[in-house]
Structure 1
Amino acid sequence: MRQIIKKILKRTALPLYLQFRGLYYSGNTVNCPCCNHSFTHFLPLGVDRRPGQCPRCRSNERDRALWLYLQRHPAFIAPGKKLLHIGPEAIFYNYFRKIKGLQYTPADKFAQMFESTYPADTIYLDITDMPEIPDNTYDVILCSHVLEYIHDDAQAMRELRRVLKPDGIALIQVPIKHGMKKTYQDYSITSPAQRAIAFGDPGHVRFYGEDYADKLASQGLAPDFIPFTTLFSEEEIRRYGLVKYDDFQLTSKVELYQQLAGMPLLLLSMLA
């Protein structure tokens, strides 16, 4: 009964509330490209209460950045492609559903637990073990801010690589603590309050450092990180409320022969 009530409120009261909240904060200081409305400021978000949430559509900084990227690079996710979307945000679910000819799979391990949050056709999928998905299936994979919740992130990377096509692209985005060279994780930290202090969120199990690209590479993925400062102007970063020192953490599959080409000669001789 409780879940039914939550669904009803989400479909009726929530949209009305967000509409009025958007009107209350309307202005010309910042702009949300996801809902195309302007406001006096963005609202507090996250444990650190940073000004990052859109008053109307509830987008955050990374949502707005990805939205702008998709608008400016329509070929990235286009008709005819196969897209796997892990942890499907409602605003992007609605965006992708409008692309005719796109073969779109919204999925998450907690699809049933968060059924009031995820779209109804979100399938159950554990990205550390996806036997139901054949090798080389998807042209594009979106997996944004998911790995920091997963204990065996290396296995998740391997599985995402396996189901990605040889010429495919995956956006495997994680929060990186700039200035911290090595990823910090401590599995003895289990309470939500302690994790919020240590990792920046009560559900996170690690804080990625500047070695994240190396972690992807070690699992057969070729990182191609694009700094926001090369994609957006200073004024755009300010107006859209983006994180200046963030980047798009794109990656592609490294084939076996490419991996072998990068091995030392001595190791290759041992494998022969």
Structure 2
Amino acid sequence: MSLITRIKNKIKLQAHSGNNYYCPYCGYASKDLEVVGHDLPVLIEKEVVGGGRRAAGCYQCHSRDRERLLYAFIIEELNLPQNKNIHILHIAPEPKLSNVLLKQNFDEYICGDLFTPGYTYPAHVQNMNVLELPFENHHFDLVICNHVLEHIPEDIKAMKELQRVLKPKGKAILQVPISKNTMETVEDFTISDPQKREELFGQFDHVRIYGQDYTQRLESAGFLVNRINITDTYKRLGVNPEEDIFYCEKPALSV
């Protein structure tokens, strides 16, 4: 980073410093949030929570609202750092959250993603396909899969795989962008053109926009679904007040 860039960053951070918001990843406190995302017509039309242009970024480390919401839920609400004797699978891990979880010394913390050409993955991330997870049944206590399923044509198959590797009564956090005003999920697998996908689904590599039937899709994969909202408690983290957490559970085995 050049001297000029460092000076510009320092001036920016000083200009936006304040006490309205706080980033749990880097500790920066600010009076406002950085504007991120894109103003695509389909995201506006369908009122997609978790997408679109919005004030949601940290000026210092550039964490976004959905990353900080996961921090609030996993670290503060679930209080996972107090329970080290668990096995966690984190699909397409967010670097900042993953670094926090790596430091907790859980019995097992596995990160996996489907490696793509030209993308550099951290050393702790394994190459794996969520449609064919290389783990035995009933292995993990917790699965984290944040904004992944909207990229996968066979999303129900992926959900079933995540459910399969969970222990009975194991939990999964399964977040996706979701339309507030659309009941049925919109998808069309005949569309492969990146520009057309961006136009219809809000991003060049998305294959759908989930509707309010997302809960039913999760249930069809065998999950018990708890849809909860904790944002009132964590307003200072700059989370999206409209983003619910889909906290799913694998049913206990029948006796």
Aligned to 1:188: 190
Answer whether contact 1:47 1:201 (CA < 8 A) is retained. no
The structure, 1 or 2, with the larger RCO (C-alpha pairs under 8 Å, 6+ apart) is 2
Alignment partner, residue 208 of structure 2: 206
- Aligned partners of 1:18, 1:215: CA distance in 2, in Å? 47
Name the count of aligned residue pairs: 239
Cα displacement (A) at 1:17:
8.6
> How much is the aligned-residue C-alpha RMSD, in angstroms?
2.6
Matched, 1:84 2:86: no
Deviation of 1:68 after TM superposition, in Å, equals 1.6
Mapped partners of 1:228, 1:162: distance in 2: 28
Cα separation, partners in 2 of 1:151 and 1:44, compared to 1, 3 Å: same
The answer on whether the counterparts of 1:145 and 1:174 sit within 8 Å (CA) in structure 2 is yes
Residue 124 of structure 2 is aligned to residue 121 of structure 1: yes
Matched residue of 1:141: which SS? strand
Asked whether the equivalents of residues 16 and 32 of structure 2 are also in contact (C-alpha less than 8 Å), the reply is yes
Tell me the CA shift for residue 188 of structure 1.
Answer: 3.0
When residues 110 and 216 of structure 1 are mapped into structure 2, their CA distance, relative to the original with a 3 A threshold, is: same
Counterpart secondary structure, 2:212: coil
1:133 paired residue among 119, 132, 135: 135
2:169–2:251 contact (8 Å) kept in structure 1? no
Q: CA deviation at 1:106?
A: 1.0
Q: Secondary structure at the match of 2:178?
A: coil
Q: What stretches of structure 1 of length at least 5 have no aligned partner? A: 1-8, 259-272
Deviations 1:44-85 (A, max 9, x none): 222233111111111111111111223323544630111101
TM-aligned CA deviation for residue 193 of structure 1: 2.6
User: 5+ residue gaps in structure 2?
Assistant: 40-52
Per-residue deviation, 1:24 = 4.8
SS of the aligned residue for 1:94 comes to helix
CA contact (8 A) 1:28 1:38 kept: yes
TM-score for the superposition, normalised by structure 1: 0.79
Deviation at 1:26, TM superposition (A): 2.1
Residues 111, 122 of structure 1: 8 Å contact kept: no
Task: Provide the residue aligned with 2:62 in structure 1.
Answer: 58
1:29 corresponds to which of 20, 28, 37: 20
Distance 1:18 1:226, change over 3 A: farther
Paired residues of 2:87 and 2:106 also in contact (CA < 8 A): no
Provide the C-alpha distance between the structure 2 equivalents of 1:246 and 1:212, rounded to a whole number of angstroms.
Answer: 14
Q: TM-score, normalization: structure 2?
A: 0.84
Q: Would you say the 8 A contact 1:111–1:123 is kept in 2?
A: no
Is 1:99 aligned to 2:96, yes or no? no
SS in 1 for 2:124: coil
Q: Which has the larger radius of gyration?
A: 1
**How many percent identity over aligned positions?**
32
